Structure 1
Amino acid sequence: MLLIWYYFSLPKELFSTPTSTVLESVEGDLLGAKIASDGQWRFPKRDSIPDKFKQCIIQFEDAYFYKHPGFNPVSIAKALKENINSREVKRGGSTLTQQVIRLSRKGQKRTYFEKLIELILATRLELRSSKNEILGYYASNAPFGGNVVGIEAASWRYFGRTSHELSWAETATLAVLPNAPSLIYPGKNQQRLLEKRNRLLKKLNNEGIIDELTYKLSITETLPQKPYRLPQIAPHLLEKSTRKYKGKYVKSSVKKHLQEQTNTIVKNHYNELKQNQIHNISVLILDVKTRKVLSYVGNSPTDLEHQKDVDIIDKPRSTGSILKPFLYSAMLDAGEILPNTLVADVPTQIASYNPQNFNQEYDGAVFASNALSRSLNVPAVRMLQDFGLDRFHHYLKELNLKDIKYNANHYGLSLILGGAESNLWDLCKSYASMSSTVNHYDKFYGKYYENEFLEPSFLADFEPDFGKSSTEKTIFDAGSIYMTLEAMKNVNRPESEENWEFFDSSKQIAWKTGTSFGFRDAWAIGTTKDYVVGVWVGNADGEGRPGLVGVATAAPILFEVFDVLPQSDWFDKPFDELAEVEICTKSGYRASEICEEKEKQLVQVSGLKTKPCPYHFWVHLDRNEQNQVNSSCVPLNEMTHKSWFVLPPLQEYYYQQKNPVYKVLPSFRNDCIGENSQPMDFIYPKESSTVFLPKDFDGEKSELVLKITHSTSEVKVFWYIDEKFIGTSQTIHEMLVNPTLGKHKITVVDELGLEMSRVVEIKE
């Protein structure tokens, strides 16, 4: 029975006290630590102990540690004799093993019976554990004064570095502290601490462990005066780690130097932005190839009033325009457009939704790639409408953007302009996965991976599992992604041009900015072949601020971060997913036989099924090429046949303002019967719109300006409101009216008899 009791007398887990969560960089440097739940700085047990500490603690506490079976009879006898003679406890006879047992049985009274129990358990511990393991228990759980427990926590608190980097004098200082931690710790009883340390150093010298020179130099070192603050290089990642790995060492994939550089960049920009009451910034850097986090800045160094402890990287925020590259990729992948297909950029009213470009101007028609790089809102909404809201929503669900929780109809067409929410983690993950798709396709000879869009990790030992390879694409094909990255790389100016010179960099980066409605969120995400950098700027409480736009606040941070990252090569072309075709240079569509300007371009393979150019027509002109004619006025043998680039009237109106070389289709000669299919269109008001007419200072209601465009400017146009004639226009087709409140039907008729109507509701 005694043997059974002896065998099971020692708990399987010797120490059950809570420990600190300790976060380390990939190099093994301390990034931060969170105090244990009992208020102690107690780091988790390490397998290795510094040799200097081993030598110091053994010489100071237990010189026969490697020779006794857990207790030292000679030391016990000497201590007992001295204590009996003095009638008080003058000397202890405990070995390091016994001290480990006493530490594990915290709270027990110091009696002779308790000493006997410690002795028995010490022998049991010696049978179960090696000497080095016992030293490890002691080093991790010995008190070092105040609320500091364990050699590693003490080393950081008293010397600001790891225990393996301490000098002999520093190690000796720590070795003597557990002997009387309540009386001696740095900043208190300095003389007594100094004497104990120097006695230990002298013993080390006498034992030949350190030489005379080392001894003399060591005793000249000063003692620490007060505890250091532990590093807090990645505090928000530490909190994230604590939720999942509480009380453990967490070796992260974060690079310490890069993290510090990113912290500095964020701090500098925060000091500027807070002048405009913009208080929060978050930055995430991912390695494209390994999907590991290289830097994690959850928030700027602001104050508690502005939620400095909130980790914004995983918090949902309005996306602004940051989803536009996904729509562009989806339409390329589906063969809906080519990279430079012309898309309409005109005033648009879809039901009650009226999207506006950031600069409130229109280009009439713009290449799709240019619309993406310039982040034009109206073309994006029209592209989404053409592509299909449900189809695009499906793609976003495939990307696993977790904060897009509702069905497509909940968001409507505003989905592409910030009507949905996402977070920096998911967005950076998606950009990294797209870049990785192109990398893998080239590296593995045209193969895709079924798990390409996997979750990143901040753990150093993370190994991404991309799943099985296949010739089938995962979400987007490599050609479509490559073309998207090319469009994003070719951003040569922000929407507001005053800041562009700041971004003139030799690095090839595919990047995109975004600004949410009300100037609440500013985004900038960029990717190279090797790295993804994501930046969010704003206020954690959602307060909007003037000037809080992606290109002005987030983009400068993005490019500064890329400047401290290594240079990356540009993506290799996925030739098997690309095809060379003739493109109409004016429209960006596949060239038809009548396109007068053509060039061969590489496009995504799915683009081969796009329709040919719809904007080139054969027109019949007179011999002077001044007017259109037809067989009603000119014989066929006297006509000049010419290919002409013609945009729809409303697109043409805005397009020719930005493109002076655009040639308007000539009008028909007066003696010919016209054949124009749709020569005019409304500019204002928009279809089924509501117009609010404000009052001036005199209380008079403002007038309404009606405006149309006509392909033949000199033609006369007759205006009607509710079938009542109100005037005629020629060349400039505008009409100033003062309608009553309510619904009205506006009708225009040109002198050739073409009629067009629009209903508008007038309100104050």
Structure 2
Amino acid sequence: MRETSAIAPATPGGRWRRIGKAAAISVAAVLIGAGAFAAWVASLGPLPLAQVRQVSTSIVDRNGKLLRAYAMADGRWRLPVDAKTAVDPGYLKLLFAYEDRRFYRHGGVDPLALGRAVFQFVTSGRIVSGGSTITMQLARLMEPRRERSISAKLRQMVRAIEIERQLSKDQILDLYLALAPFGGNLEGVRAASIAYFGKEPKRLSLSESALLVALPQSPETRRLDRSPDRARAARDRVLDRMVEDRIVTEEDAAQARAAPVPALRKPMPILAPHSADQAVATMKDAPVIRLTLDSSLQKVLEALARDRAVAQGPNISVAIIAVDNESGDVLARVGSSDYFDERRAGQVDMTRAVRSPGSTLKPFIYGLAFEDGFVHPESLIDDRPIRFGSYAPENFDMTFQGTVPVRKALQLSLNVPAIALLDRVGASRLSSRLKQAGGNLVLPKDEAPGLAMGLGGVGVTLQDLAQLYSGLARLGTTKPLREIMLAKDDRDALRLMDQVAAWQVGNVLIGTPPPENGVPNKIAFKTGTSYGYRDAWSVGFDGRITIGVWVGRPDGAPVPGLIGRTAAAPILFDALARTGKLSAALPKPPKGALVASNARLPLPLRRFRPLGELVRTGNDQAPRIQFPLNGSRIDVDRSNSGQFAAMPVKVAGGVLPLTMLVNGVAIGDIDSRRQRLIDPPGPGFARLTVIDATGAADTVVIRMQ
């Protein structure tokens, strides 16, 4: 009897149940794996874009050229890069060919490159290429890790896909070019190009491009300042690869291989260090700050200041500022002869230091005198011993010229005529007018403006002097100086003096005898020497630019023989010559300018009369203003609209008709009763003048409030 099998035959239903069970297990495993992968991806957190976008603060000039950069807090140099405009296309061509040929076609991971890398590893038994795209390398730079593992590579791939979703290709490339390591504390192609080649990466040779492609592969072992031979070998391998791939010809590659590899780093540029420091303090946390400076002019003027300071002697420094007349933009600022020279206090910005200006304020005294109409460049004025109370000014050479034209008095910088005019103009009025135009004069504590300010008895900065002198070139209006270029420029012009007066001052100053190295009639300029030979000045302008020069010791110590004409004026003329442009002509005479010889001037203008000395003709009684009195302070009633009410003026003597002038502007005749109501020009100082039919005149200065 046969034994039957104990195992029941399989049924179709049981087989399908087993298959279903296996499938369910597989699906569950896939879901669990997918969930675990998703959880792992989520655990990575957001991309650290804000952190990696931090760069070194860069100070650039008006044309975008780098003036100075500041290392990041941890000492790294990382400069922002714009691949489209600031990087050599030849370098980018080599970079893509060597690192990522399909950069603009893949989504962060290149399957073909990965497949090639695996095949090369299997066939050769070693890693020939990593298969990483530029985006994957950027991911590694964002989150650096030392281990090289499958999980690390997978992480890069995931991050690369995320990067591609959040950034454009151009943004990815710019970020990579800013973060790629080049050895030491250099990050990014700009920092490397400047440090190794001393130039921006906008124009690179084939040798330089190949070297910059090779260095990020192993930046520390190929550091040029430590292992130049390894760097050279890596560069040559890049060139060999480019020849194999027919990117470059063998002839070009051979020439590139013959080029030497730099073995030392070059210093980062430090142009306009004082301006850069000020900009960083003003524009905190700004990655790029654009200044109005011209890097080419800045460079030549820094060299000029350095050379001239050495020639002047130990401890002496030189400061220079150049201003565009039309815009008020600072084109160059040299705060000291050498920023790193401690003996000369190099880090002190002498363009912003308050110093005694010597005679450099005299042109503004003459300008207000011209504006008030009581003197003309061809008027005669006395240069003789005179006393103003207890103050008796003397000329620099301790001599007197006698009677001279006003033009010559200013050109020779005679002290007595300047103080006589200031006495007539009024020291307080000069001070307020200069302040109104942007020149902040610093007086000794508790001291009011006095006649001594005309000879340097006040403090001022070189930059304020340059602004005031540019106002002469602009025919009477100054523009507040600007050094940081902002999106909005809301500076308004400030009044210095009327157009005719400003033109007359410039017309006089351009005839000042130049120093030995200067060409006559090219620049209107004035020199100054402070008391005790502590400061030598020279400020001048043509129709385009105003340049100010200061020479002295930053600590204020006297320097015997330091004179503006011999120490500062030659630097001024050299600075103008080094601007690279021909001198621009001064503006033409504005409407109303009186150009005449002394003999053809109206009688009151032929000779300057000190305050209180009346012009008399024959036996006629000269006119005299009885009200208001000279130097008085007038409280003028205001109308309901807030405007000043009319103010009476009373005159005695004089031959009718009598003409009334307010601040040099004729407002009409005075009636037979010798009275007139005038509309006050506004709060502040006002000059009232009356002229009779014979040319006799009287003037008073009042203050209205």
Classify 1:247/1:224 alpha carbon distance in 2 versus 1 (closer, same or farther; 3 Å): farther
**Residue aligning to 1:574:** 589
1:118 is matched with which residue: 131, 135, 156?
156
CA contact (8 A) 2:108 2:160 kept: yes
Q: Distance in 1 between matches of 2:125 and 2:587?
A: 85
**Residue aligning to 2:681:** none
Classify 1:155/1:14 alpha carbon distance in 2 versus 1 (closer, same or farther; 3 Å): same
Q: Distance in 1 between matches of 2:370 and 2:310?
A: 42
SS in 2 for 1:162: coil
CA contact (8 A) 1:71 1:95 kept: yes
**1:471-496 C-alpha deviation (Å, 9 max, x unpaired):** xx933111001111112122237xxx
**Residue aligning to 2:602:** 590
Q: Distance in 1 between matches of 2:593 and 2:446?
A: 31
Structural mapping, 1:488-567, within 5 Å? 488-492=509-513, 502=516, 505-565=519-579, 566-567=581-582
Gaps of 5+ in 1: 439-451, 494-499, 600-606, 620-764
Structural mapping, 1:65-104, within 5 Å? 65-73=103-111, 92-104=130-142
Q: Distance in 1 between matches of 2:367 and 2:454?
A: 13
CA contact (8 A) 1:284 1:425 kept: yes
**1:432-482 C-alpha deviation (Å, 9 max, x unpaired):** 1221237xxxxxxxxxxxxx42223345788976759xxxx9331110011
**1:628-672 C-alpha deviation (Å, 9 max, x unpaired):** xxxxxxxxxxxxxxxxxxxxxxxxxxxxxxxxxxxxxxxxxxxxx
Classify 1:112/1:378 alpha carbon distance in 2 versus 1 (closer, same or farther; 3 Å): farther
**Residue aligning to 2:505:** 484
Q: CA RMSD in A?
A: 3.8
TM superposition shift of 1:150: 0.7
Structural mapping, 1:29-108, within 5 Å? 29-48=65-84, 49-73=87-111, 92-106=130-144
SS in 2 for 1:556: helix
CA contact (8 A) 2:480 2:491 kept: no
**1:186-206 C-alpha deviation (Å, 9 max, x unpaired):** 133333322321221122222
**1:63-101 C-alpha deviation (Å, 9 max, x unpaired):** 443333212456557778999999999974532212212
SS in 1 for 2:135: helix
TM superposition shift of 1:182: 1.7
**Residue aligning to 1:455:** 480
Q: Distance in 1 between matches of 2:362 and 2:611?
A: 23
Do residues 296 (structure 1) and 321 (structure 2) align?
no
SS in 2 for 1:328: helix
**Residue aligning to 1:9:** 46
Structure 2: which amino acid aligns with 1:548? Answer: L
Q: Distance in 2 between matches of 1:573 and 1:165?
A: 45
Q: Distance in 2 between matches of 1:29 and 1:351?
A: 57
CA contact (8 A) 1:590 1:613 kept: no
Identical counterparts, % of pairs: 28
**1:189-229 C-alpha deviation (Å, 9 max, x unpaired):** 33332232122112222222212321222222221111122
Q: Which moved more, 1:381-390 or 1:142-151?
A: 381-390
Q: Distance in 1 between matches of 2:395 and 2:112?
A: 89
Classify 1:590/1:614 alpha carbon distance in 2 versus 1 (closer, same or farther; 3 Å): farther
TM superposition shift of 1:423: 1.3
CA contact (8 A) 2:321 2:548 kept: yes
Classify 1:20/1:462 alpha carbon distance in 2 versus 1 (closer, same or farther; 3 Å): closer
CA contact (8 A) 1:346 1:364 kept: yes
TM superposition shift of 1:39: 1.5
CA contact (8 A) 1:322 1:514 kept: yes
TM superposition shift of 1:421: 1.4
**Residue aligning to 2:301:** 262
Q: Distance in 2 between matches of 1:504 and 1:64?
A: 62
CA contact (8 A) 2:356 2:535 kept: yes
Q: Distance in 2 between matches of 1:345 and 1:367?
A: 10
Q: When the two structures are superposed, what TM-score results if normalisation uses the length of structure 1?
A: 0.68
Q: Distance in 1 between matches of 2:445 and 2:376?
A: 28
CA contact (8 A) 1:371 1:379 kept: yes
Q: Distance in 1 between matches of 2:522 and 2:419?
A: 28
**Residue aligning to 2:187:** 149
**Residue aligning to 2:642:** none
Structure 2: which amino acid aligns with 1:568? Answer: S
**1:339-376 C-alpha deviation (Å, 9 max, x unpaired):** 23344433344444443321122334443332222222
SS in 1 for 2:550: strand
Gaps of 5+ in 2: 1-34, 620-705
**Residue aligning to 1:285:** 322
Q: Distance in 2 between matches of 1:76 and 1:408?
A: 81
**Residue aligning to 2:7:** none
CA contact (8 A) 2:424 2:611 kept: no
Classify 1:462/1:347 alpha carbon distance in 2 versus 1 (closer, same or farther; 3 Å): farther
Q: Distance in 1 between matches of 2:480 and 2:206?
A: 46
Classify 1:610/1:351 alpha carbon distance in 2 versus 1 (closer, same or farther; 3 Å): closer
Q: Distance in 1 between matches of 2:73 and 2:45?
A: 29
Q: Distance in 1 between matches of 2:255 and 2:122?
A: 41
SS in 2 for 1:428: helix
Q: When the two structures are superposed, what TM-score results if normalisation uses the length of structure 2?
A: 0.73
**Residue aligning to 2:56:** 19
CA contact (8 A) 2:513 2:520 kept: no
**1:137-157 C-alpha deviation (Å, 9 max, x unpaired):** 111111100111110110111
Classify 1:203/1:79 alpha carbon distance in 2 versus 1 (closer, same or farther; 3 Å): closer
CA contact (8 A) 1:393 1:408 kept: no
TM superposition shift of 1:527: 0.9
Classify 1:107/1:523 alpha carbon distance in 2 versus 1 (closer, same or farther; 3 Å): farther
**Residue aligning to 1:271:** 310
Classify 1:107/1:24 alpha carbon distance in 2 versus 1 (closer, same or farther; 3 Å): farther
SS in 2 for 1:487: helix
CA contact (8 A) 2:479 2:492 kept: no
**1:479-532 C-alpha deviation (Å, 9 max, x unpaired):** 001111112122237xxxxxx5x1551443211011111111111001111121
Q: Distance in 2 between matches of 1:579 and 1:551?
A: 30
1:189 is matched with which residue: 224, 227, 246?
227
Classify 1:569/1:164 alpha carbon distance in 2 versus 1 (closer, same or farther; 3 Å): closer
Classify 1:545/1:353 alpha carbon distance in 2 versus 1 (closer, same or farther; 3 Å): same
TM superposition shift of 1:233: 4.1
Structure 2: which amino acid aligns with 1:517? Answer: Y
Q: Distance in 1 between matches of 2:490 and 2:247?
A: 50
TM superposition shift of 1:181: 1.2
TM superposition shift of 1:257: 4.0
Classify 1:413/1:307 alpha carbon distance in 2 versus 1 (closer, same or farther; 3 Å): same
CA contact (8 A) 1:9 1:121 kept: no
Q: Which moved more, 1:187-196 or 1:312-321?
A: 187-196
CA contact (8 A) 1:344 1:382 kept: no
Give aligned pairs, total: 577
Classify 1:574/1:191 alpha carbon distance in 2 versus 1 (closer, same or farther; 3 Å): closer
Q: Distance in 2 between matches of 1:123 and 1:14?
A: 19
TM superposition shift of 1:111: 6.0
Q: Distance in 1 between matches of 2:82 and 2:282?
A: 20
TM superposition shift of 1:534: 0.9
**1:529-560 C-alpha deviation (Å, 9 max, x unpaired):** 11211111001111111111111100111112
Q: Distance in 1 between matches of 2:618 and 2:560?
A: 50
Structure 2: which amino acid aligns with 1:550? Answer: G
Q: Distance in 1 between matches of 2:316 and 2:122?
A: 68
Do residues 347 (structure 1) and 385 (structure 2) align?
yes
SS in 1 for 2:554: coil
TM superposition shift of 1:237: 3.2
